[in-house]
């Protein structure tokens, strides 16, 4: 089964360690060892997280430098932002929607 890009991005972000790795990379490139340091998990576990992030296109790893630094690739995050923006009016317009909802109920549209 192929996974669409946006689903792969959301799945990659559904883990606090992976989000912390992205936050670290937002401050600059880092080696696997540097990324692993703050986490109470094995280097192997961190490598696995990096593979998930790399497959989702959220990080890249240098092929040239010997220490193979990881680097944030933010394009998929732009796609997440574009997707979630469509719903902005719903989390910002809480009260308006409640009124609208009550108005709909009063019209009795849902009695059918």
Summarize as ranges the residues that interact with a second copy (CB under 8 A): 4, 6-8, 10-11, 13-16, 19, 22-23, 26, 28-29, 65, 67, 69, 72, 74-75, 77-78, 80-81, 83-88, 90-92, 94, 104, 110
Q: DSSP readout, 6-55?
A: HHHHHHHHSSHHHHHHHHHHTT--B-HHHHHTTSSS-HHHHHHHHHHHHH
Q: Which is nearer to a second copy, 63 or 86 (CB)?
A: 86
Q: How far is the CB of 74 from a second copy (least distance, A)?
A: 3
Q: Which is nearer to a second copy, 16 or 40 (CB)?
A: 16
Which residues are registered as beta bridge partners of 61? 70
CB contact at 8 A, 52 and 17: no
Q: Which is nearer to a second copy, 22 or 36 (CB)?
A: 22
The span from the CA of 62 to the CA of 44, in Å, is: 19
Enumerate residues 6+ apart whose C-beta is below 8 A from 67.
Answer: 31
Q: How far is the CB of 99 from a second copy (least distance, A)?
A: 14
Tokens of 62: 């240098």
Q: How far is the CB of 29 from a second copy (least distance, A)?
A: 7
Q: How far is the CB of 76 from a second copy (least distance, A)?
A: 8
């Amino acid at each position: 089964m192929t996974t669409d890009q946006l689903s792969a991005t959301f799945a990659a972000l559904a883990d606090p360690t992976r989000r912390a790795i992205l936050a670290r990379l937002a401050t600059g490139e880092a080696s696997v060892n540097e990324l692993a340091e703050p986490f109470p998990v094995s280097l192997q576990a961190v490598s696995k997280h990096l593979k998930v992030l790399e497959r989702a296109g959220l990080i890249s790893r240098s092929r040239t430098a010997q220490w193979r630094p990881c680097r944030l690739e933010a394009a998929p995050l732009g796609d997440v932002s574009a997707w979630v923006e469509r719903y902005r009016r719903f989390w910002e317009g809480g009260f308006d929607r409640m009124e609208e909802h009550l108005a709909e109920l009063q019209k009795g549209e849902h009695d059918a």
